[in-house]
Amino acid sequence: MSSNLSGKVILLTGAASGIGRGTAIKLNSLGAILAITDVNEPALAETLTLCSGGSNSEHHTAHTLDVSNSADVEERVAQVVTKYGHIDHVFNCAGVNPTAMSLTETSEAYFDKLVSVNLKGMFNVTKATIPHMIAPGGSYVNVSSISGWNPDAGTAVYCATKFGVIGFSKCMALELGPKGIRVNIVAPGYINTPTNAGIVRGTPEARRRMEQGNALGRMGTPEDIAGVVAFLMSDEARYMNGSVVGVDGMLIT
């Protein structure tokens, strides 16, 4: 896998923490050239530092980016293309995790925030990058969730966005496949990241319930997802298009 990702220009959103940061570190270790983005500039700078030392790390760049703002996306993508000339792969990872609440407690502002980042943000980045993708050979890996097919009471808006990510991605796989550009989806389960506090609720009891409800007896890690993302971008996954890959350790129902 390392040979066919080495030197590839990869744009990542949501790279300041969690799955995005873990995937940036993994791709750096495989010799990719990274354009990492996030709204959190200080944490993004930390990710850039953690990606030092790779064979192409001197070529990495970091850009603050609000994926929900189409003008901001267009400007940042233009900067990336000006520097590198093209994009080989895109990792659409930027997202807002859910806060468990009933629909009657859910505000319009909360609805707008999740939809604008989780769904519209992916639309903005995909639309802006398509003209600059290597074809054939380019790919998108988009982050959905096990909530993209497994509804859960108290997370209606989040589930709606993650169901939407799968539908959007499959349509893009049909649209871009004839150009030789693949689109695949990774669907993480419960991953131990700082932004999952709204699900875990910060209590040891809630964490234990999650671990006991998983066949592997633990929550996932960003590294568990990063390896799958790297595979989906590689030539080993060259006939995977429109696939939804669950990475959840197998929930016990």
Question: Could you say which of 84, 110, 140, 158 is catalytic?
Answer: 158
How is the beta sheet containing 9-12 ordered, strand by strand?
A: 61-64, 33-38, 9-12, 89-92, 139-143, 182-188, 244-247
Distance CA 169, CA 21 (A): 22
Q: What is the DSSP string of 107-152?
A: -HHHHHHHIIIIIIHHHHHHHHHGGGB-TTT-EEEEE--GGGTS--
Q: Is 158 a catalytic residue?
A: yes
Distance CA 37, CA 17 (A): 11
Structure-block tokens of residue 95: 């997202």
Are the CB atoms for 76 and 65 separated by under 8 Å?
Answer: yes
Distance CA 166, CA 178 (A): 19
Report, as residue numbers or ranges, the catalytic residues. Answer: 158
